[in-house]
Structures are given as structure tokens and as C-alpha cells.
């Protein structure tokens, strides 16, 4: 939606007042942190079961190997990756002062050593890194849930779905290999503590390790797309996450960080006789320990092949050699095609439409939650004004109403006809917050065109709201959608060339 710029401002003002009020109080520190958080970038947690590929995906999103990955269970503490001029690693112990850790790189990949500190005593690690993609988002890597080491798993659950308070993450990317009942339980637990309880809007589910579906056949990604499609229409998942995207994390990571030497090796492989290459690519063992004859035919030494396998996976190598034969002959072409096929771009788009465009709103919502929590737990004699303002924003802000209705629509508690439900979802910004996206038009739709479509929608929903047979819940939805449509009409009326945002009078 408008990104909630206006609401953001209002919430910020109230928060400032609360900070003044609680100055010197034990809750004051938490509130000030909340204020900092409102002004900071969006915090997106990468969560999922153990070995779902969380760190790999994080690397693919950042475009550098900064999250350590390993065959065994690897991430043991919650790690924050944020933008910084200089690479720096800071350890936040549960008690005691912060500690700087040494920045240690190995083959271009960052190694995180806790320096002899037990993971139990570490609250989190913070990695500052000069990567452009971290400028407007803080990515948070979490240990796997359902880990066989129960305390690591407990750590992750505590971070993602704390017993009290709003939690540290504004939005969640949830990774799963297949939809397991544990995954559903976990996704449910994320929502138990949010304002719009059961609100699936700040969660995007990722079908990770998509390259391993169907034992790494070349059509694995098509299969993965089919599976994701099925999950998207699954009623149980609809209420828990905004969308499901298949991503081959390893492929994306390798594509984005491909080195010249690797390209050379891949090119050599694709140039070798096809039967030899295919024979060697039957299994990982055949590929790494080929016979002398095969080795000379492949033209790549064993050590390089092992490294290649590590970085690309069997599927990645198979795909890369096929692509090279198809004529993606330049390193940048190959890398781009690998990234494109990995599905990470779709994930980025989903993140932009679902998180970034709604950034201010999500932040405002998180702040409001925290403020509400403080007000309830530490009643203050002079807080009357502040709590009334909080209540007013919660009840009045149209953006929150939109979020609430969207959530309710996705959970499916409102008895709208399916196509009406889909239209409402689109208008409320479920598929993207830009006016044209809400109206179901292309990005190049002209203003008058937008206006006429918005007017038509407004009339439709007005009719629904006034229809005598409409139920209470559907009338509520229709009213909220009407208001959105009004906003859309106004935006297409008044907005200058640059005004793509919507705004609403608040209250």
C-alpha cells in the first residue's frame, strides 16, 4: 500500500512521546531501541528446518559467501548480516560486554569462529559487511528448527516466536524442502503473536533445494515449480504465508559468485566428449574419482572437480555443461542464466512486492506491537494520551485495516465468492502495492485508464457493500475495499508524474 508512510510517521511520533515518558524507566531502553529499529532497515529472518539451505539462500541473496555453509549442521547461533563500511564481526553474549571477532576469509568465503565461546552463551552475532544488497535490509540467519541438538533448535524457536513481545524480525522467509507437518506447526507459531493474528502477509515460503527434487534430473526445476504451484493453492498454506517460491539456492549462490577458474573448468567439461562427461556425472563418486583415462578426457584435475561439485552441486554442473553447449559461452552469460534458472529473481520480486513496498507499514506495525506491550506491562500514570493515540492508530489507520482484511481473506474466514475474494486480495495489495498492480494492469497503464478501472471496481464493491443479502463480514471487507478504491481513484486523479504512492487521511 502506500508503504504506510503516513502511518509510519504517526506511529513514530507516538513512540517519541512514549520514549520521553519512560525516560529513566526500565522500559525506556527497550522503547528507544524500538525507535532506532523504526528508522533502520527492514529485518528479514531466514528460517526453516535444519539443513533447509538457509545460509546458502542468504548468500545467494547477498551475492557473496558471507554465511558459512557446510554438509553438517552449521549455523548454531542467530547471526545478523547488516550493511557496514568495513567488514566487522561482533559477538553479543547473553551477559557481559560485546566482543569483536576477527574477520577471517577462506577461498572467498567468510569463516565465523566463536573463539572458544560456547554457542549457549551467545545471544547473537552481528556481521557488518559492505554489500549493496544489505543497504535496505538486514538479513538474519537462524539455526535450524527440528535440529537433533535440541538446544540449538530451542534457540531458533525462541528467536522466531518469542513467548512475549513482538519478536525481532519484521518479516520471515521460511524455507522448506517438502511441506512437512513440522513446517506447518512452525509457520503457525510465527503468527500467534502478531497484531493481525494469523496474518500471513509478512511470510514468504521458499521451496528450497529445488535442484534436488527428483534426484537432480535436468527437469528438476520444472518439477519444483509444479510442486510450489500446488502448495500455493493449498488452503492450509494460504493462511500461513503470502506465497510459495521454488529456489535452487546453491545454483543461485554459485551463479552470483562464479569465478573465472570455475568457468574455465566448466567450459573444459562441456568441451569433453559427451558420453564421457555424462558417464562421469552419473554420481558424485564417479565425478570426483574418475579413472586415469576419463580424467584425461575430462581435462579437469580431480581437486578442481571436487571444488566445483562443492560449489555447484551435481545438478548445477549438469545444467552448466548443457547451457554451455547451448551457447551461453561467456562467463557473465552463463552466470546470469544460472541465476535466472535458480528462481532467486522470483524470490526477489516476491520480497519486493511483499516486504519492501510494505516496509514502513510492517515497521510501524512492529513498533506499535512493542509499544502496546510496554504500555500494558508497565502502566504509567501519564500514559493516557499515548495509549489513546495507540488505540486510535490501531483502529483507524486504513493501512492496518487493509492488512487485517487481507489476512482474513487469506485465512479464508470470510464467505466471499472465490473470484470476488481474489479481486479483493489484489485490490488490497496482496500481489503488489503499486496502484497498477492493485488494479491488475500493466506498469505502463495510463492514468485515465487506471482511473476508469478503479471507478468500476469502486462501483462493484459499493454494490456489494449495500447488497441486503451480504453478511456482516463481507460488508466489512467491501467497505475496506471501497476505501482503497477511493484512494486509487484519487491517486490517478491528482498524482503528478512521480506520485505513485497512495495516501489516505488517517483516523
Partner 1 sequence: MTRSAAIDVVDIAIQAVTAYQRDDLHERLDRTRTRLADPAARVLVVGEFKQGKSLLINSLVNAPACPVDDDLATAVPTEVRHAERPALVLVEQPDPNSPRLRRREVPIDHIGRYVSELGDAADRRAVRHVEVGLPRSVLAGGLCLVDTPGVGGLDSAHGASTMAALPGADAVILVSDAAQEYTAPELEFLRHTVELCPNVLCVLTKIDLYPDWRRIAELDLARLRAAGIEAKLIPVSSTLRQLAISQEDRDLNIESGFPGLIDYLRTDVVAIQDRLADRSAAHDVLSVTRQLAGSMTAELAALRDPAGTESLMADLARATERVEKLRTRSARWQQTLNDGVADLGADIDHDLRDRMRAILREAETHLDEVDPTTVVDEFGRWLNQRVSSAASANFVWTSQRVRYLATQVATHFGVDSATELPQVRGRAPESAIAQADAFALPAAEKFGVGQKWITGMRGGYGGTLMVGMASTLAGLALLNPLSVAAGLMLGRKTVKDERKRLLQRRQAEAKGAVRRYVDDVLFQLGKESRDLVRESQRELRDHFTRIAEELSRSLSESTLAAQRAVSVDRSDRDRRIADLEAELARVENLAGTAVELAESAGFRPLPERVPSDQFSGTLAVGAGA
Q: Which residues bind partner 1 (CB under 8 A)?
A: 49-51, 71-73, 146-148, 150, 153, 177-182, 184, 209, 212-216, 220, 223, 226-227, 230, 236, 282-286, 288, 306, 309-310, 313-315, 413, 468-469
> Among residues 145 and 366, whose Cβ is nearest to partner 1?
145
Could you tell me the smallest distance in angstroms from the CB atom of residue 150 to partner 1?
A: 7
Environment class of residue 384 by beta-carbon count within 10 Å: exposed (0-12), middle (13-18) or buried (19+)?
A: exposed
Which residue pairs, CB below 8 angstroms and at least 24 apart, start in 299-302? 299/268, 299/269, 299/271, 299/272, 300/265, 300/268, 300/269
Output the smallest distance, CB 313 to partner 1, in A.
8
Q: What are the b/e assignments for 53-78, b being 16+ CB within 10 Å? A: bbbbbbbbbbbbbbbbbeeeebbbbb
Give the Cα separation of 81 and 436 in Å (integer): 33
Cβ at position 234, least distance to partner 1 in Å: 8
Closest CA to 19 of 39, 4, 41: 39
| Nearest residue (CB) to partner 1, 7 versus 298 | 298
Pull the grid cell for residue 13.
Answer: 511520533
Please state the closest distance from residue 82 (CB atom) to partner 1, in A: 28
The grid coordinates listed for 183 are 513446517
DSSP code for 209: -
The residue among 103 and 157 lying less far from partner 1, judged by its C-beta, is 157
CB of 78 to partner 1, least distance (A): 19
Q: Whose Cβ is closer to partner 1: residue 286's or residue 388's?
A: 286
Residue 152 Cβ, how far from partner 1 at the closest point, in Å?
A: 10
CB atoms within 10 A of CB 208: 30
State the nearest-atom distance from the C-beta of 350 to partner 1, in Å: 21
In the complex, the smallest distance separating the C-beta of residue 355 from partner 1, rounded to whole angstroms, is: 26
Task: State the minimum distance, in angstroms, from the CB of residue 475 to partner 1.
Answer: 14
- Annotate 389-421 with b (16+ C-beta within 10 A) or e (fewer): bbeebbeebbbbbbbbbbbbbbbeebebeeebb
- Of 222 and 503, CB closest to partner 1: 222
Rounded Cα distance between 144 and 229, Å, is 25
To which H or E segment does residue 260 belong? helix 260-271
Nearer to partner 1, 177 or 500 (CB): 177
> Are residues 64 and 55 in contact, defined by beta-carbon separation less than 8 angstroms?
no
- Indicate the residue among 284 and 336 with the shorter CB distance to partner 1: 284
Nearer to partner 1, 184 or 445 (CB): 184
Contact 172, 190 (CB under 8 A): yes
Query: How many whole angstroms separate alpha carbon 477 and alpha carbon 466?
Result: 12
Q: Which of 153, 69, 70 is nearest to 119 (CA)?
A: 153
Give least dist CB 50 to partner 1, A: 6
Q: Which is nearer to partner 1, 220 or 453 (CB)?
A: 220
C-alpha cell at 128: 557488518
Residue 49 or 398 having the CB closest to partner 1: 49
Query: Which residues, at least 6 apart from 94, have a Cβ–Cβ distance to it below 8 Å?
Result: 121, 122, 123
Amino acid at each position: 500500500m502506500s508503504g504506510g508512510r503516513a502511518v509510519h510517521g504517526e506511529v513514530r511520533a507516538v513512540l517519541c512521546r512514549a520514549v520521553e515518558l519512560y525516560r529513566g524507566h526500565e522500559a525506556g531502553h527497550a522503547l528507544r531501541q524500538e525507535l532506532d529499529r523504526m528508522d533502520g532497515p527492514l529485518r528479514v529472518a531466514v528460517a526453516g528446518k535444519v539443513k533447509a539451505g538457509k545460509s546458502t539462500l542468504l548468500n545467494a541473496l547477498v551475492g557473496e559467501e558471507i554465511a558459512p555453509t557446510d554438509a553438517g549442521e552449521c549455523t548454531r547461533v542467530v547471526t545478523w548480516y547488516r550493511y557496514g563500511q568495513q567488514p566487522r564481526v561482533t559477538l553479543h553474549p547473553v551477559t557481559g560486554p560485546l566482543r569483536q571477532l576477527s574477520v577471517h576469509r577462506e577461498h572467498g568465503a567468510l569463516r565465523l569462529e566463536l573463539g572458544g565461546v560456547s554457542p549457549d552463551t551467545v545471544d547473537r552475532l552481528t556481521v557488518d559487511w559492505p554489500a549493496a544488497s544489505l543497504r535496505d535490509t538486514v538479513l538474519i540467519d537462524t539455526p535450524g528448527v527440528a535440529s537433533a541438538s535440541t538446544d540449538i533448535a530451542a534457540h531458533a524457536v525462541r528467536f522466531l516466536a518469542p513467548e512475549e513481545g513482538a519478536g525481532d524480525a519484521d518479516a520471515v522467509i521460511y524455507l522448506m524442502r517438502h511441506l512437512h507437518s513440522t513446517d506447518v506447526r512452525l509457520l503457525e507459531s510465527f503468527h500467534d503473536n502478531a497484531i493481525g493474528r494469523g496474518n500471513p502477509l509478512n511470510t514468504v515460503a521458499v521451496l528450497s533445494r529445488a535442484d534436488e527434487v527428483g534426484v537432480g534430473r535436468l527437469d528438476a526445476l520444472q518439477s519444483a515449480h509444479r510442486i510450489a504451484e500446488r502448495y500455493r493453492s493449498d488452503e492450509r498454506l494460504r493462511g500461513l504465508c503470502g506465497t510459495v517460491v521454488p529456489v535452487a539456492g546453491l545454483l543461485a549462490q554459485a551463479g552470483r559468485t562464479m569465478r573465472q577458474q570455475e568457468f574455465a573448468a566448466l567450459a573444459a567439461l562441456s568441451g569433453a566428449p559427451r558420453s564421457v562427461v555424462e558417464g562421469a556425472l552419473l554420481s558424485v563418486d564417479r565425478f570426483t574419482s574418475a579413472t586415469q583415462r576419463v580424467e584425461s578426457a575430462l581435462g579437469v584435475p580431480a581437486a578442481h572437480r571436487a571444488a566445483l561439485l562443492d560449489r555447484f552441486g551435481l545438478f548445477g554442473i549438469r545444467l552448466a555443461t548443457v547451457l554451455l553447449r547451448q551457447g551461453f559461452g561467456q562467463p557473465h552469460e552463463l552466470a546470469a542464466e544460472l541465476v535466472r534458472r535458480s528462481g532467486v529473481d522470483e524470490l526477489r520480486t516476491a520480497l519486493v512486492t511483499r516486504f519492501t513496498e510494505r516496509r514502513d507499514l510492517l515497521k510501524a506495525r512492529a513498533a506499535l506491537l512493542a509499544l502496546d506491550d510496554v504500555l500494558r506491562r508497565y502502566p504509567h500514570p501519564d500514559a493516557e494520551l499515548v495509549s489513546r493515540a495507540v488505540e486510535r492508530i490501531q483502529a483507524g489507520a486504513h493501512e492496518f485495516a487493509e492488512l487485517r482484511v487481507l489476512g482474513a481473506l487469506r485465512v479464508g474466514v470470510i464467505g466471499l465468492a472465490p473470484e470476488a475474494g481474489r479481486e479483493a486480495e489484489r485490490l488490497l495489495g496482496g500481489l503488489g502495492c503499486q496502484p497498477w498492480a492493485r488494479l491488475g494492469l500493466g506498469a505502463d497503464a495510463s492514468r485515465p485508464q487506471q482511473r476508469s478501472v478503479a471507478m468500476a471496481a469502486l462501483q462493484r464493491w459499493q454494490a456489494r457493500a449495500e447488497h441486503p443479502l451480504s453478511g456482516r463480514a463481507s460488508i466489512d471487507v467491501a467497505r475496506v475495499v471501497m476505501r482503497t478504491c477511493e484512494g486509487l481513484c484519487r491517486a490517478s486523479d491528482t498524482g503528478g508524474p512521480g506520485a505513485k504512492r497512495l495516501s489516505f487521511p488517517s483516523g
